Structure 1
Amino acid sequence: MSSPAWQPDCGDGNYRNPILHADYSDPDAVRVGDDFYLVSSSFNSAPALPVLHSRDLVNWRIINHALPRLVPADHFSVPRHGQGVWAPSIRHHAGKFWIYYPDPDFGIYVITAEDPAGRWSDPVLVKGGKGLIDPCPLWDEDGRVWLVHAWARSRAGIKNRITLLRLSADGLGVAEDLGVIIDGAKVPVPGFDTLEGPKLYKRNGWYYVFGPAGGVATGWQSVFRARDIRGPYEHRIVLAQGKTAINGPHQGALVDTPAGESWFLHFQDLKAYGRIVHLQPVVWRDDWPVMGNDEDGDGTGDPVLVHPKPRVPAAPLAVPASGDEFDSPSLGRQWQWQANPGENWHSLSARPGWLRLAAQPEPQPGNLYQSPALLLQKFPALSFRVTARVEFAPQTVGESTGLIVFGYAYSWIGLRARDNGLALVWATRPEAAKGAPQEEHLLIERLQSPVWLSVLVHPGARCQFAFSTDGTTFTDTGREFTATEGHWVGAKIGLFAAAPAAAAATGHADFDWFRVQPLQA
């Protein structure tokens, strides 16, 4: 059985960062009553827009994906690496949850739900256009609905600016475009660039725009405030790396607890491990937020690694799901495809207690980078072990199945159908995103399934593949692969079944389980 590879709850009243050691990038969160809900970017993966729930801001579980399929559906029938759902925001208003999310190629969308774990509405395009990103709404006391957003230079030709819109009363359209209210180029801070990810709040008569700047891996958290939402805005840097190892601490969510505490959720970019999520305490001084540990009292805090938990009722230990025994009628919520999935890609009923993957044609021979039919999940910790048991029934020579680590480069261990039967192979594609050829190494020339497949991920994302023919004794391949990030995402791990593009008939692979465990020293 699987067991958590990372546990942020120390069990003694403290927590340790990161609270989510997985790629939940660009997090936003909201509290409703005693419950906290978090959403994050999901880019080209489907289902999209993961929704997580917590009662204490430390112990989280996945409860839904708010967007079952990416839209436009046809556009996302193939992998669109780096496209899709960018930084969303989640709010609660008038008895409904609202998620505003951007697609940098199409515009800003909104979806709503009364129950965040239930069905969300179909997306409504609030404002179309290229390069509109990172939207966040605010329902003001006078009934007006505001929304701020940033810009992606790759699509719009501009960046480092925050624009303000007044929305229609129903929140579904734009009533007025008030233009740029914050221009990062005019902020008197050396190197102030890439202002994005704005979050809009109102507190004690002040309008606040929280926004990261300085770059994904190297930046800091800025806060702007004004008495008028149109500005002019004062500025302060409230969280930075300082003397810590937590690079680029920024872009996230300000939340409060029922007891009145303030907390900030943000990410840290760890390359192959993705943008992992940290939790920082927040205090207010002269109506400015100070995050983390501000030893010198200058208003700019450093990230904390261990800290007392929020003062809320004790919550049971929880982490986002990772392993899957395939005993349920649906896949675990941690799984995502590389594009909108086909109806017949998988089955959990063809062989109860097993996951059946139907072998899908490779878009390009020997290249899985552009395959939409990869079933993947996020790295769950700095180090961990994954094992899977597979039985393979191919119909065509050249079909393959296995356990894959995927990013700009990928590597997998598994079975290949050859003229004389099944072979066990280890394959790698060092520069998959650039079209480099796949290298394939024969491990066993002929064998029968089942086969047990394993990968050990060590600190530094060093991956060590192994296999077993009896489920007890594993043989190392003797080769190491270093996982890489993907397009705006961390590396992923998962399963696949593939076939040559011209195959007249294709077989299937059955997986008994997919288990994730801590990697023992």
Structure 2
Amino acid sequence: MVAEPTEEDHKFEWVEYNELRGNMYLEMQNWALDKFFEVYISDNGDGTFTNPVLYCDYSDPDAIRVGEDYYLVASSFTNTPGLPILHSKDLVNWNLINYCVKNVPEDVSSFRKPRHGEGVWAPSIRYHDGLFYVCFPMPDEGIYMTTASDPYGVWSEPVNIRPGAGWIDPCPFWDDDGKVYLVSGVAKSRIGYNSVLYVTELASDAMSVKGEPVKVFDGNQTGDRTTEGPKLYKRNGYYYIFAPAGGVKPGYQLVLRSRNIYGPYEKRIVLKQGSSDINGPHQGAWVDTPKGDNWFLHFQDVYAAGRIVHLQPMTFEDDWPVIGKKIEGECCGEPVRTYKKPLEVASYNEKETTNPGITDLYLRGWQWNANHEDSWITNENDDESITLYCNYDEKERYIPELPCILLKKWEAPEFEHTYKLDLSQLCKGDYVGVINLGMSYLAVVFEKKEDKIVASSISGRQEFTDGGILYNESETEICSDVPHHVYIKYEVKNIGMRKEKEIPVAPEEIVRYYMSYDGKDYNKVAEISAEAGRWVGVKQGVFALSHNEASNGRLIVAL
């Protein structure tokens, strides 16, 4: 049995927030509170770093250097706010500083329901003539551009510069003669073929298409299946297109090279797994340092935790890049695990965002499951807890279909996160809880029934088919009457490695829920084998809903 509370105390109190990220620790202030937590850090503190530099699902990363500052963007799919922007001074230590979009653009209402695997796909970030550009695709709607003079500020309303389904993975490029181009790929799921890259001329302001697309590479003809995620650069008179191929988990990194932007292009594999344990080094970004050293950021798909970010040294031989540690007798490299840091920088205070829609909560990595409304939440309580208002669930949908789930990516191979739930303001018909969301999902739910609060676990699985999403869901009661204050400890544990179809071994994690009434004595109440979502890693989160349209209930929670 869970330990009974010693008193009914409706005064909300913060709890210790502990988070384990690997074997390295860092004490820091969080939300201006004396809350200690332990985080995964790549920086070893001795002038070296250990990959990944970000153990977090920042899928499809692209990055640039502007002066002494580095900025990174990543896919956000259906989660909002979207298009996260991270900042670093040394390519190893990163801070989340802003988001480009509050909600998924175009017809905002169409993304009020989660459209898992859709929305904002692989973006690119560039800087030209005092302006930052982020270009991103929505596979059913087109290619968009948003700009800002300050990456910490408000970004412009996205413009659909190339309407139409199927165009993905865009990257703009400003040539020496002032012309602007766009390299992009295509999605087989939308137009029937893939592995083909195109270059298209843009208008001088990069806000519309000027020319017709020119096919510059066809991986179907070269044996490089699933060529995608292109990035366009220029060096020593050569145009370079960096593009991964071979599939997300087992693939490799290609580089194409030509003296003419429209080709013909030579190709070479410049990075593959080799003898390392870093599978499928996938798409990313070439950046340099102020002193001229070259580096490459890329992601690795580790299944449940998603697509984590690595940093590799990069050199040139005969004007061809070699990424990572060069493989003896070959022209390509393999990923390094530990290496000398690119730069040593003095400590600094991160600049604050001036985007009024991006609160500290979002800068801690929390996002909604779909397009959101500000009225769903208050995060300015006196004790700095948050209040979630119980949204009316008219159709009694399956939990993954709910937009008002506040979610956070995993940020470590193993960790625990404790929520304190204040259930005292729930109304009849309200139901709230903590969820582990992936293709398989598990939630511990508290429902107000008459004068009691009933705890149960809901487990299920999503199956994506041509006819829609199928659900297989079940519910098990945990306790028929719980008090107003409940602690839920969410724990992620690595239990070894498992064989997978695409790669020999992959991490295997289990998620366990523990419940307590006093924050001291916990009992396990549910568990599930972790399974990634649709092109995204597992997320943890919290939600508040109601079957009662007239409810004014709310959940107060310390995250």
TM range (shorter): over 0.9
Distance 1:67 1:194, change over 3 A: same
Distance 1:481 1:316, change over 3 A: farther
> In structure 2, what is the equivalent of residue 399 of structure 1?
430
Structure 1 residue 506: Cα displacement: 4.1
Q: Report the more deviating stretch, 104-113 or 353-362.
A: 353-362
- Letter matched to residue 164 of structure 2: G
> In structure 1, what is the equivalent of residue 517 of structure 2?
469
> In structure 1, what is the equivalent of residue 262 of structure 2?
230
> In structure 1, what is the equivalent of residue 100 of structure 2?
66
Q: Answer whether contact 1:257 1:312 (CA < 8 A) is retained.
A: no
CA–CA distance in 1 between the matches of 2:488 and 2:180? 53
- Letter matched to residue 319 of structure 2: D
Structure 1 residue 499: Cα displacement: 1.4
Percent of residue pairs bearing the same amino acid type: 41
Partner residue of 1:159 out of 175, 178, 194? 194
Structure 1 residue 14: Cα displacement: 0.8
> In structure 2, what is the equivalent of residue 33 of structure 1?
67
CA–CA distance in 2 between the matches of 1:234 and 1:35? 32
State TM-score, norm by structure 1. Answer: 0.92
Partner residue of 1:279 out of 311, 315, 334? 311
CA–CA distance in 2 between the matches of 1:137 and 1:399? 48
- Letter matched to residue 472 of structure 1: K
Superposed, 1:252-267 pairs within 5 Å as 252-267=284-299
Partner residue of 1:42 out of 64, 76, 99? 76
CA–CA distance in 1 between the matches of 2:168 and 2:360? 36
Residue deviations 1:318-345, cap 9 Å, x none? 9xxxxxxxxx775544111111112311
Structure 1 residue 350: Cα displacement: 5.4
3-state DSSP class of the match of 2:366? coil
Q: How many residues align?
A: 499
Distance 1:386 1:299, change over 3 A: same
3-state DSSP class of the match of 2:481? strand
Residue deviations 1:288-317, cap 9 Å, x none? 110111130412111111111003424579
Superposed, 1:189-228 pairs within 5 Å as 191-228=223-260
Partner residue of 2:279 out of 241, 247, 268? 247
- Letter matched to residue 82 of structure 1: G
> In structure 2, what is the equivalent of residue 451 of structure 1?
486
Distance 1:87 1:212, change over 3 A: same
CA–CA distance in 2 between the matches of 1:285 and 1:3? 44
Structure 1 residue 71: Cα displacement: 0.9
Q: Answer whether contact 1:37 1:54 (CA < 8 A) is retained.
A: yes
Gaps of 5+ in 2: 1-34, 351-358, 495-507
CA–CA distance in 1 between the matches of 2:279 and 2:225? 16
> In structure 2, what is the equivalent of residue 100 of structure 1?
135
3-state DSSP class of the match of 2:189? helix
Residue deviations 1:47-91, cap 9 Å, x none? 100000000000001000011121121221221111111000001
- Letter matched to residue 49 of structure 2: Y
Distance 1:80 1:431, change over 3 A: closer
Structure 1 residue 7: Cα displacement: 1.1
Q: Answer whether contact 1:367 1:432 (CA < 8 A) is retained.
A: no
Superposed, 1:94-133 pairs within 5 Å as 94-133=129-168
CA–CA distance in 2 between the matches of 1:2 and 1:410? 29
CA–CA distance in 2 between the matches of 1:243 and 1:466? 40
CA–CA distance in 2 between the matches of 1:184 and 1:437? 38
Q: Answer whether contact 1:393 1:507 (CA < 8 A) is retained.
A: no
CA–CA distance in 1 between the matches of 2:256 and 2:397? 50
Gaps of 5+ in 1: 319-327, 515-521
Superposed, 1:372-521 pairs within 5 Å as 372-393=403-424, 396-431=427-462, 434-459=469-494, 460-477=508-525, 479-500=526-547, 503-511=549-557, 513-514=558-559
1:294 paired with 2:309, answer: no
Structure 1 residue 498: Cα displacement: 1.6
Superposed, 1:8-23 pairs within 5 Å as 8-23=42-57
Q: Answer whether contact 1:5 1:383 (CA < 8 A) is retained.
A: no
CA–CA distance in 1 between the matches of 2:394 and 2:232? 43
- Letter matched to residue 150 of structure 1: G
Q: Report the more deviating stretch, 274-283 or 329-338.
A: 329-338
Q: Report the more deviating stretch, 464-473 or 399-408.
A: 399-408
CA–CA distance in 2 between the matches of 1:445 and 1:33? 60
CA–CA distance in 1 between the matches of 2:276 and 2:540? 29
CA–CA distance in 2 between the matches of 1:280 and 1:135? 23
Q: Answer whether contact 1:420 1:446 (CA < 8 A) is retained.
A: no
> In structure 1, what is the equivalent of residue 355 of structure 2?
none
Distance 1:315 1:184, change over 3 A: farther
The two structures, once aligned, show a CA RMSD in angstroms of 1.8
Residue deviations 1:413-462, cap 9 Å, x none? 24221234112222212347644343222222212111111111011220
